[in-house]
A and B are shown apart, each in its own frame.
Chain A
Amino acid sequence: NAGVMQNPRHLVRRRGQEARLRCSPMKGHSHVYWYRQLPEEGLKFMVYLQKENIIDESGMPKERFSAEFPKEGPSILRIQQVVRGDSAAYFCASSRDRQETQYFGPGTRLLVL
C-alpha cells in the first residue's frame, strides 16, 4: 500500500531555469495539497487541488508558480525562472476526501544555485 510519492527527491537548478516537482497521491485519494518548508521554519500551505481543478491557491506566489492535477497522472508543481529564494523543501500531501487527514510524501528538496 504505497504512500504519497514525490519525485525527484532532490533537484538542483541554476537561477532562471524551470523546476518541475511531481506528486502521486495515495491510492484512492483525489485531493492533493502542496506545502513549502523554508529552512528552520514550519510548513506553509501553497495550493489545494482536486482532479483537474484548483480549489484553493491562496498560498501560491502570484508569479512564476503554477500547479496542476490532471485527470491522468501525477500532480505537478511548476516553478519558472527559479531564484535562490525558491530553495526549500516542497511537500505534497493527499487525502481521500476534503475533511479527511492529509498524508504527506517524503518531499522534494530544491536547491537553486
Chain B
Amino acid sequence: DQQVKQNSPSLSVQEGRISILNCDYTNSMFDYFLWYKKYPAEGPTFLISISSIKDKNEDGRFTVFLNKSAKHLSLHIVPSQPGDSAVYFCAARGVQGAQKLVFGQGTRLTINP
C-alpha cells in the first residue's frame, strides 16, 4: 500500500537546466508535504515543504508545487548544479493528525556538466 509514489527512479539533467521531480499521493487526508535530499551514507536533509492550503512555495532555487485535485506535487530546481546530484524523497504527513512521515521511494537526480 504505497500511499506516496515517486514513479521515476532516476532523472538526468544538464547543469544549468531545470530539474523537475514528481510525486503522487493517494490519501487526500495528507495536509503537509516535504522534500528531502539524501547523499549516500548520510541522513536525509530537509529542503522545502508546503502546506495543503497553498499551491506553491519557493525558497531560492527550489520551488514546490501542489495540485490537490490531482494529488500531485513537484519539486523544481533551477538552475541545476552538480551539487544537486542526490536522491530526492517526497514525504507526506497528517492523516488523522499523525506526525509520522510517509515517504516515496526516491528519485536519483544526476546533474551532468
Contacts and interface: CB of A to CB of B under 8 A. Distances in A.
Contact of A33 (B36, B42, B45, B100): B100
A11 interface: no
B45 A44 contact: no
A59 interface: yes
A97 to B, nearest CB: 10
Interface in B45-95: 45-46, 49, 89, 91
Contacts, number: 60
B103 A44 contact: yes
B105 A56 contact: no
Contacts of A109: 41
B105 A103 contact: no
Interface in A70-113: 91, 93, 95, 98-99, 101-107, 109
Interface of A: 4, 6, 31, 33, 35, 40-45, 48, 55-56, 58-59, 91, 93, 95, 98-99, 101-107, 109
